[in-house]
Chains A and B, each alone.
Chain A
Amino acid sequence: MNKTWNNRAWFMVLPVLLLVAFNAVIPLMTVVNYSVQETFGNNLFFFEGVKWFQEVLRSDRFHASLMRQLLFTFLILAIEIPLGVAIALAMPRSGFWVPVCLVLMALPLLIPWNVVGAMWNIFALPDIGLLGYGLNALGFDYNFTRGPLAAWFTVVLMDVWHWTSLVVLLAYAGLRSIPDAYYQAARIDGASPWAVFWYIQLPKMKRVLTIAVLLRFMDSFMIYTEPFVLTGGGPGNTTTFLSIDLVKAALGEFNLGIAAAMSIIYFLMTLLVCWVFYTAMMRGEDQ
């Protein structure tokens, strides 16, 4: 409501609009175009209506990768959010160790996705990788290229290692914004540490945690590079998530129609969830 108006500002936004048009709207329209047509090569296209959509929605393969995707997202949210909050709570509130902790926390976030995948690939190799070798030495039969469970374990662990820091940093920022008087009042009211967490820290972190969940949901729902580098979607199809499946369909099998329809369904699902989150967040603020 407190915005300055100035019509010239629109000119400033114009380059961004153009950019968005070129790298988002136009590709999206191409995908929409593909999703309703059939091609047999030679740039010949036939209109097919919603055939591809029906096919995708009825396909067991799509259902399977969607279920894997949902399971994966659920798992990493269930681990990363509480873990991130726990680490943020354990971090010092002031002093020399604060910057040290923050830098350590930020490190994984700075590593490119494909490097993370490659790193973990080597790290988890049962013969030479520290993790793989160590687990086997401890008596576990661990090989992420053969056992589906081991593969899942590795992919989830990798994501937790890579992204929990983001949750930690957000939660820490939320915690730091709580005035000291709240902690003092709680001590005076005789509140247990658990009560302090439940009635002061968690409510005050609610907003940043909503953002953390939203970010982690979107990222994990669209995850591609790391599991692709690590497991390539295997063994079999056990770690083939939606985006990997999509690329397989589009580039591996050249099923452009199917892939396009899948993309659009995928896109709409993400959009829907974001919208639900956004309204929930806004409603929370209105109160």
Chain B
Amino acid sequence: MLELKSVTKTVGQEAHIDDVSLALEPGTLNVLLGPTLAGKTSLMRLMAGLDRPSDGQVIMNGVDVTGLPVRQRNVAMVYQQFINYPTLSVYENIASPLRVAKIAAGEIDRRVREAADLLQLAPYLDRTPLQLSGGQQQRTALARALVKGAELVLLDEPLANLDYKLREELRAELPRIFAESGAIFVYATTEPSEALLLGGNTATLSQGRMTQFGATLDVYRNPVDLITAQTFSDPPLNTIAAVKEGGKLLVDEGRLSVKAPAAASGLADGPCTVAFRPHHLLRDKPGRGAVTFKGTVAVTELTGSESFIHVDMHGARWVALMHGVHAVPSGAEIALHVEPQRFMLFDAQGRLARADIKEAA
């Protein structure tokens, strides 16, 4: 088990990682989700031992390894760039960590072929990496990381440089490959959909701080604060500033008044944020309780299977994600509806007030 205890990394005046505590179990896949510069790579470097934390402890299987250099840890890493030894064959590339560890030739051969089978590289073992496609090059790098039998495998946006479809294929294979290994996997990505497809656990990062950690779907469905909900939403989360006044939520300087549900009673009067996901903004009124918003269509994007309608509502720009083709012209007036139980309410500090609003407005 890998434990981080209040790990902080400051460079100059800047906190790259701010007080992160985390416990990762063997045989789990853990996604670090956050935008560029959120601290994903910095956190991985601390886990690997490439950097020493300014404060806090890193504990591996109960042993304090804070400050132990990466060479003395059993760690493997895969990067966004396809990093292989260009002059060595795929076979030798995969075998390289075993050769360093001075493992018997027969055992090396067995483990290399096993990893190659797992990653569908068996036909290419005699080629050099430059004769392979991008996807195969990254598979080679993955095989090398796996064959090492490392306790901790760190993957830093490993699919970012691949084509969309290749990404889709590898992403589908990864959970199976991870499950067979038993190591602790840490996987950094900027894409919420990637986290969801991989499953496992997710830690959301924002500006060097970990905002939430838990089972991926649980974090997605029950974010503890606004930042987490925004980080974990693609298309972007729809939000609007509101003011709670007694039993009412006032939006757009009072131009729209929504009856505050009883479930939001935990929220004090004053400014708050109302948020909901793009696929919960509907064109057809789902029921009597639904809240209706009226606004103007800015632009509509059609993918053939889905439509993204970007709308200006009460001074906010929202996206509605719908099935099928909804070709709404720009500039058109539109009424969209949200079921009240889909609302998430956040207080002035961005903390979730209540996930479920039982009663209609």
Measuring CB to CB, which residues of chain A are less than 8 angstroms from any residue of chain B?
Answer: 1-2, 4-6
Contact = CB atoms under 8 A, between A and B. Distances in A.
B69 A2 contact: no
B67 A5 contact: yes
A6 B45 CA distance: 16
Contacts of B50: 2, 4
11 contacts: A1-B11, A2-B45, A2-B50, A2-B51, A4-B50, A4-B69, A4-B70, A5-B52, A5-B67, A5-B69, A6-B69
- Interface on chain B toward A: helix, strand, loop, or mixed SS? loop
B8 to A, nearest CB: 15
B356 to A, nearest CB: 45
Interface residues of B, number: 8
A4 B75 CA distance: 15
Interface string B77-107: 0000000000000000000000000000000
Contacts of A1: 11
Given A5-B67, A5-B69, A6-B69, 8 more contacts: A1-B11, A2-B45, A2-B50, A2-B51, A4-B50, A4-B69, A4-B70, A5-B52
A1 B10 CA distance: 10
- Interface on chain A toward B: helix, strand, loop, or mixed SS? loop
A283 to B, nearest CB: 16
A1 B11 CA distance: 7
Contacts of B69: 4-6
A4 B73 CA distance: 13
Interface in B249-278: none
A1 B50 CA distance: 11
Contacts of B67: 5
Nearest to A3: B51
A76 B93 CA distance: 50
Interface string B32-46: 000000000000010
Contacts of A5: 52, 67, 69
A8 to B, nearest CB: 10
Contacts of B70: 4
Interface in B183-213: none
B307 to A, nearest CB: 34
Nearest to B14: A1
Contacts of A6: 69
Contacts of B45: 2
A44 B67 CA distance: 56
A5 B45 CA distance: 13
Contacts of B52: 5
A4 B11 CA distance: 14
Nearest to B49: A4
Contacts of B11: 1
A11 to B, nearest CB: 15
B28 to A, nearest CB: 27
Contacts of A2: 45, 50-51
Nearest to B12: A1
B304 to A, nearest CB: 31
Nearest to B41: A2
A4 B51 CA distance: 6
In order of increasing CB-CB distance, the 6 nearest A-B pairs are A1-B11, A5-B52, A6-B69, A4-B69, A4-B50, A2-B51
Interface in B22-80: 45, 50-52, 67, 69-70
A1 to B, nearest CB: 5
